[in-house]
Each structure stands twice: as C-alpha cells, then as structure tokens.
Amino acid sequence: MIGRHRYVIEFFQVRNVMSQVSGSVVSSSSCVEPIAFTERYANSEHFQKLYREGMTLVEETASYLDGPGRQEARKLDTDLSLAYATESMRLTTRLMQVSSWLLIRRALNDKSIDLDQARIERRKIQLDVISRPGHVRNFDQLPERLQHLVRESFRLLDIVKRLDVTIDGKPAPAPKLVSNPVASQVDRVRLAFSA
C-alpha cells in the first residue's frame, strides 16, 4: 500500500507540472497530499472480498487437514511427516491470526466494536511470520494442496499486514508533504524566458 501512496504522489506531481506547462498557475511551493487508500480499502467492497476469501481459506484448510490431508500425511516418510505436521500447525496458527484480524476489522467497520476495543483485541494477534515456504526444509516435497494453502495463507497475511496500520483509525503513515521538485525548475525556465 505504501507503494501506492508514492504512485499517487508522483501522479499529482506530474499533474501539477502538466498544469504549469499548459499555463495554469501553480506555485513552485505547492505540495501534494497523499490519499489514504489503506483506510478506504478497509471500508470497501474489496475488503469484504478479502474477508470472504480469508474465511473461505480457513474452511478449505480445515476441510483439507481433516480429510484428504490426513490421508496424504499417512503416506509420507518420517522426515516429511514431521515437516507436514509442522507446516499444518503453522498454517492453522497463521490462519487463526489472519481470521481474527479480519473479524476485528469487520466489527470495527460495522461499528460493532469501538476503536478502543479494536485496539485491545488487535494486541492479542501475532502477525509476525516464523518462516516462509522457501525457508522450510522439504517444503517442495509436501503434498501440493498443503503447499497451495500455505502460499495462499501468506498472500492473505501480507495483505492484512499492510492494512494493519489502519487499526488505530489512522491512515498508513504517509510521507510528509512533498514539495514538487519539478515545479521550481519550471518556474526557473519560465522566469528565464519572460525576461
């Protein structure tokens, strides 16, 4: 999300320069205020989609681990069986944390809880990651379905971590107001040709 803030800032800087070139009056000291996309996202239909996606992944994971996953785990050798058990525990823990965060955010959006209660509940959630799939020995030898679920859980976790900065009711920390560096150059050119 922070990358989007930079993109918006650059867009407005370019727009300001274009306005100057086309004759509009924009001073070289004009600043650009970033838009709080993160907060808007958390209150949008996109968030609702993320919520449904997260809850669906929780259900799929539970169904897999209780059914086909259990059968697949029995066929694994000892080392892979240990890796399977470890990854399935990490997966369920990760999904519990993500789903808890989604439920808190949804309750806050729906005004079922206030900001203070959301903050208290948020402090109970751990969004830090122990290890990514690339760091797990024999990960690529685990059943494909488990690998897919683990990767999807990390994808959702990454989105949630980016949105998490809004739980305090503030938009993501935005860069300070950025003065338009091109505007001063355009002013110099304009001054040089007007003399």
Q: What pLDDT, on the 0 to 100 scale, is given for residue 100?
A: 94
- 191, 160: one domain: no
Is residue 39 in a domain?
no
DSSP letter (8 states) at residue 166:
G
pLDDT level of residue 168 (50, 70, 90 thresholds)? low
Is residue 125 in a domain?
yes
Is residue 64 in a domain?
yes
Query: What is the tens place of the pLDDT at every residue in 75-89?
Result: 999 989 999 999 999
Q: What pLDDT, on the 0 to 100 scale, is given for residue 166?
A: 62
Which is more confidently placed, 133 or 13? 133
Query: What is the tens place of the pLDDT at every residue in 109-133?
Result: 888 998 889 888 988 988 887 677 7
Where in the sequence is the domain holding 24, given as residue range(s)?
A: 1-34+174-195
- 87, 15: one domain: no
CATH number for position 162: 1.10.8.930
- 12, 108: one domain: no
* DSSP class per residue in 184-195: HHHHHHHHHHH-
Number of domains in the chain: 2
Whether the predicted pLDDT of 159 surpasses 80: yes
- 115, 134: one domain: yes
- 56, 145: one domain: yes
pLDDT level of residue 5 (50, 70, 90 thresholds)? very low
| Mean confidence (pLDDT) of the chain | 76
Q: Tell me the helices (H) and strands (E) count for the chain, helix number first.
A: 8, 2
Q: Rounded to whole angstroms, how far apart are CA atoms 79 and 56?
A: 30
With a CB cutoff of 8 Å and minimum separation 6, the contacts of 14 are: none
Q: What pLDDT, on the 0 to 100 scale, is given for residue 64?
A: 96
Question: Mean pLDDT, to the nearest integer, of 6-10?
Answer: 46
- 120, 143: one domain: yes
